[in-house]
Structure 1
Amino acid sequence: MLNGITVHPDCRHFRGDIPCRPNKEHGYQCAGCPVYAPIQQRILIIKLGAIGDVIRTTPLLRRLRQEYPNSKITWLTLTPAILPQGQIDEVLKLDLPSVLHLQQREFDLLFNLDKDKEACAMLDSIRATQKFGYQLHPRHGVAWPVGELANHKYLTGVFDELSQQNQKPYVQEIFELCGYEFRGEEYVFDTHEDQGYDWSQLPTSHPRIGLNTGCGDRWTTRLWSDEKWITLIGQLQQAGYAPVLLGGAAEDERNQRLHAATGAAYLGTFPLPQFINLMHQMDGIVTQVTMAMHISIALRKPTILMNNIFNPYEFDLYGRGQIVQPNKQCVCFYRGTCKLGGPGCMEELPAEKVFEAVRASVAIS
């Protein structure tokens, strides 16, 4: 009671600094509130970035909501805009105010899924009954597993040989690190369909195949040449598909060239929410291992994944699409250059192989 007025700071709706939504929309106060929802567990997830890794951690939300339906889930990240509304009660961006705020709270469960030193330091400095994931080694200041559950994922991240031998998808590893069995839980993701974007310039008479032509600038051995893209586009068009070029500012020049050479649709570059919704308009996606791959899987699109430098077991396409790889073994595991020199093994991936994967994954009605 505050000045004789009942206040429930343990309610999922309670904000503390501004009126809660039930109060704002219906005039409810805590005393006798019909939607009072007392929190039974307080859960904190620390997953900072990159964007793709944040996206592919969201299946964990489904299990947590199943196990703890009356919990309050807080997520600390560097990319709050990518996280979906509804399943997460509180999204915080990693900055000084959030750090100071979290260090004064108590949680029942704390999951740190990043080896970044700042993420590990956060796990160490926040009070929680149970902690999972990674902490700082108290003497050496490096990331270190919290208990045996984190050992497998930790070791595959620090030794290339173990990473290459691993046969567990990333999502399964994350679930096991948190003490759960992975049961095929899908991503939790926002399509941004409610924004009403105008896609009237997209082709409408054939299945749309999105072609994400870039891969970022960290491991450029993933890139495919213009010649290969042009060949694939021609094969898709001849078979009755409608190729749509996708990418950001780094891919704009390439996509303009491919558009001019083939007539494949290219609408330009867009802010991330609009780009996500553009991908949602596709019937299938061809992409390298990059952010667009994670978005495609999250959108439940048949995904044709062109992989050359990562362990293919790492990726779970949920039975939609195929992983296609070069016809010769690559010697560029997590590398920006091929150890054998030359243009890299991605050029040994024939356009015909990618085309056949598209045809097997996306039917032409």
Structure 2
Amino acid sequence: MNILVIKLGAAGDIIRTTAILPGLKQKYPGSSIDWVTQSSYHEIIQGNPFIRKVFFIDKDKEKLASSFYNLIISCDDDLGACNLASQVPHDYLIGAYAHGKKPVYTPNAAAWFDNGLISRHGLRKANVLKRKNEKTYQELWYNIIGIPYAKQEPQLILAKKDTLYAQGFARKNNFNGKSYIVGFNPGSSTRWWDKRMSVGDTVKLGWEIRDRYPDSKVILLGGPEEIERNKIIKKRLPFLIDSGVNNSLGQFASIINLCQTVITSDSLAMHMAIALKKKVVVFFAPTSHKEIEIYDRGYKVLPVRGCVGCYRKECRIKPIYDIDAMAKLI
């Protein structure tokens, strides 16, 4: 039994989608599973013990076109991914594919794709359905594939070079076996602007953490889109240990792996922390908290005022959080 999983991005979505792999091995013992993604995401998928071979859509289309799979699971609504799903020879397909120049999806995958950009109902109804959804992403895909869901975990394998990088970072900042290390990721990408915590609330929460846990070491996490924002935060919270914003995906994951607890937005840092089995305190606003599986290791925090699951780039009512209550969860 040869299976091909198509999941091109984004990085956090790739990580959470790996949770289907243990179930596939359970349902199809002895099967071989290959994965297609983008070459820029190789660090978060290579080394996975459930995967035989990783292909890159930007390099391996010809190889894939001459391959054959008994089952293709196509998890992306991107037209390039859908075209690939249609072009690779196969017996059976679950998920999105191309019909002419249009992305469509198999009826058994409606529980996920009805809620997204290629929904047969249109985007407005899709957002309504997404807000009504009560199941996590992992549970939805297990139901789609036809495997009993038992909170099977995602996987994120750290390369030795990245683990060594994180060990060097720990030595440089005087971490020891007794250090309680908290990762603090208040930002996010700009796709959903109000996923990120305001700078004001970030500073309040930072000082609450400092006051409650004076012996902790708090690492400021972030990515390239947060250069100026993190400079402001670091200036106002001088005790933070800045991990930088230009780490590779593997380096970023290895720094998160140093932490006991990660406070984060619904972002890549969250998906990495969950896959690395960290305690998480995740705050939500425009995106669905119900869709996120945290495996009973932490807390989901909703704003006391503001949008929840509005799916707008910018919330009409800016989220405000109970900072004192959030700090107590750490």
TM-score tier (shorter):
0.7 to 0.9
How far apart in 2 are the matches of 1:120 and 1:177? 17
CA drift of 1:354 comes to 1.8
Q: Pick from 318, 321, 325 the counterpart of residue 349 of structure 1.
A: 321
Q: Pick from 333, 339, 343 the counterpart of residue 310 of structure 2.
A: 333
Task: Tell me, yes or no, if structure 1 residue 196 matches structure 2 residue 164.
Answer: yes
CA drift of 1:233 comes to 1.5
Are the aligned partners of 1:121 and 1:135 in contact in 2 as well (CA < 8 Å)? yes
How far apart in 2 are the matches of 1:202 and 1:213? 24
How far apart in 2 are the matches of 1:145 and 1:181? 22
Task: Tell me, yes or no, if structure 1 residue 58 matches structure 2 residue 18.
Answer: yes
Q: Pick from 136, 146, 150 the counterpart of residue 179 of structure 1.
A: 146
Match of 1:207?
Answer: 180
Match of 1:36?
Answer: none
Call closer, same or farther: CA 1:353–1:84 in 2, change over 3 Å: farther
Are the aligned partners of 1:55 and 1:187 in contact in 2 as well (CA < 8 Å)? yes
Higher alpha-carbon Rg:
1
Task: Tell me, yes or no, if structure 1 residue 242 matches structure 2 residue 179.
Answer: no
How far apart in 2 are the matches of 1:306 and 1:171? 19
CA drift of 1:332 comes to 6.8
Match of 1:225?
Answer: 198
Are the aligned partners of 2:46 and 2:54 in contact in 1 as well (CA < 8 Å)? no
TM-score normalised over the length of structure 1: 0.79
Are the aligned partners of 1:80 and 1:92 in contact in 2 as well (CA < 8 Å)? no
Match of 1:292?
Answer: 269
Task: Tell me, yes or no, if structure 1 residue 112 matches structure 2 residue 74.
Answer: yes
For residue 66 of structure 2, what is the amino acid of its counterpart? Answer: Q
Are the aligned partners of 1:236 and 1:242 in contact in 2 as well (CA < 8 Å)? no
Match of 1:216?
Answer: 189
CA drift of 1:216 comes to 0.7
Are the aligned partners of 2:180 and 2:260 in contact in 1 as well (CA < 8 Å)? yes
How far apart in 1 are the matches of 2:227 and 2:71? 44
Call closer, same or farther: CA 1:239–1:203 in 2, change over 3 Å: farther
How far apart in 2 are the matches of 1:224 and 1:274? 24
CA drift of 1:260 comes to 3.1
TM-score normalised over the length of structure 2: 0.87
Q: For residues 318-329 of structure 1, what are the structure 2 equivalents within 5 Å?
A: 318-329=295-306
Are the aligned partners of 2:36 and 2:56 in contact in 1 as well (CA < 8 Å)? yes
CA drift of 1:119 comes to 1.5
CA drift of 1:225 comes to 2.2
Q: Which protein has greater RCO, CA pairs closer than 8 Å, 6+ apart? A: 2
1:237-296 deviation line (CA, Å, top 9, x unaligned): 222233211112322333333333331222323222111100000010011111111111
Call closer, same or farther: CA 1:282–1:130 in 2, change over 3 Å: same
For residue 207 of structure 1, what is the amino acid of its counterpart? Answer: Y
For residue 143 of structure 2, what is the amino acid of its counterpart? Answer: E
Match of 1:92?
Answer: 55
SS of aligned partner of 2:271:
helix
Q: Which runs of 5+ in 2 are unaligned?
A: 120-125
Match of 2:285?
Answer: 308
How far apart in 1 are the matches of 2:222 and 2:313? 20
Task: Tell me, yes or no, if structure 1 residue 70 matches structure 2 residue 30.
Answer: yes
For residue 136 of structure 1, what is the amino acid of its counterpart? Answer: A
SS of aligned partner of 1:74:
strand
SS of aligned partner of 1:100:
helix
Task: Tell me, yes or no, if structure 1 residue 161 matches structure 2 residue 135.
Answer: no
Call closer, same or farther: CA 1:321–1:331 in 2, change over 3 Å: closer
Q: Which runs of 5+ in 1 are unaligned?
A: 1-40, 359-365
